[in-house]
Amino acid sequence: MDIHPSALVDPQAELAEDVVIRPYCVIGPHVSIGPGSVIGPHVVIDGWTAIGTGNRIYPFTSIGHAPQDLSYAGEQTRVVIGDNNIIREYVSIHRGTPRGGGTTRIGNNNYIMTSVHIAHDCVLGDSVIMASGATLGGHVHIDDHAIVGGLVAIHQFVRIGTGAYIGGLSGVGQDVPPYTLIAGEHARLRGLNLVGLKRRELSVKTVQALKKAYKILFRSNHMLRDAIQEVRDELESLPEIDNLLHFVEQESNRGITR
């Protein structure tokens, strides 16, 4: 274990044998950090925070402090971070609230760039990219492979679907369907995230099916329930189509971006 003498690590913290703690870090008593993780200078990790294997956390990041929620009264809530995440400078990640399930959760292989804020009770899947200055209100859920552009603001309780792309400087007030691209001050759908689909090497058949489903769901004059049924009638069952339909059928707190 490589802990710089200037770091303040509570004796009750649980650190794997090969964890690296750089100068002037502060690690609280209820923190656990898994093997192969490197905690950069001036990082503060507090609260009931569990960090997995192979994470890289850069200077001046703050993880596990109390949520910015007026209902919070000091309860034992958590931050749980998975494996192989890169968390860059000045990121803040707050722990959950009792009414939101109690846990802010980040999956694996995510890239979280400078000055990102992840509020209480947010859930990030795997392989998510959040560009510099992006901000999540409380209770936001972001599914796998989504990309959030720079200086994006996402409203509380919004869901971001698998493989979605949010252009920079966007304000997102409603759920973003999987595989789509949205942008704008008050963000609106601009089409499918074709670049993201290509990077994931989806088949031509799947991309064509998603294009047709997109037109039926979001560019026809049908009621949403009728559009969903039309997609089911006209397109064969593919994992991506099923995922898209499941997303738009789920109960939404904010409605679907159109």
Taking only the tens place, the pLDDT of each residue in 121-166 is 999 999 999 999 999 999 999 999 999 999 999 999 999 999 999 9
pLDDT tens per residue, range 72-120: 999 999 999 999 999 999 999 999 999 999 999 999 999 999 999 999 9
Is residue 120 annotated as a catalytic residue, yes or no?
A: yes
**122 and 27 together in one domain:** yes
- Cβ atoms within 10 Å, residue 185: 8
Q: Which run of H or of E encompasses 130?
A: strand 129-130
- Residue 138 bears catalytic tag: yes
Number of domains in the chain: 2
Let me know if residue 10 belongs to a domain. Answer: yes
Catalytic residue among 34, 64, 133, 138, which?
A: 138
* Structural domain harbouring 44: 2-139
> pLDDT confidence of 1, banded at 50, 70, 90?
confident
Q: What is the mean pLDDT of the chain?
A: 97
Q: Tokens standing for 73? A: 């009264």
Residue 216's pLDDT band, with cuts at 50, 70 and 90, is: very high
d(CA 191, CA 185): 16
Residues 76 and 7 in one domain: yes
| Same domain, yes or no: 117 and 23 | yes
CB 139 within 8 A of CB 123: no
- Find the CATH number of the domain harbouring 231: 1.20.1180.10
Q: Over the stretch 27-37, which tens digit does the pLDDT of each residue have? A: 999 999 999 99
Q: 69, 121, 143, 175: which is the annotated catalytic residue?
A: 121
Task: Determine, yes or no, domain membership for 70.
Answer: yes
Same domain, 26 and 129: yes
Place of tokens 């689909």: 197
The one catalytic residue in 30, 42, 120, 145 is 120
- Please check whether residue 74 lies inside any domain of the structure: yes
pLDDT at 168 over 90: yes
17 domain residue, yes or no: yes
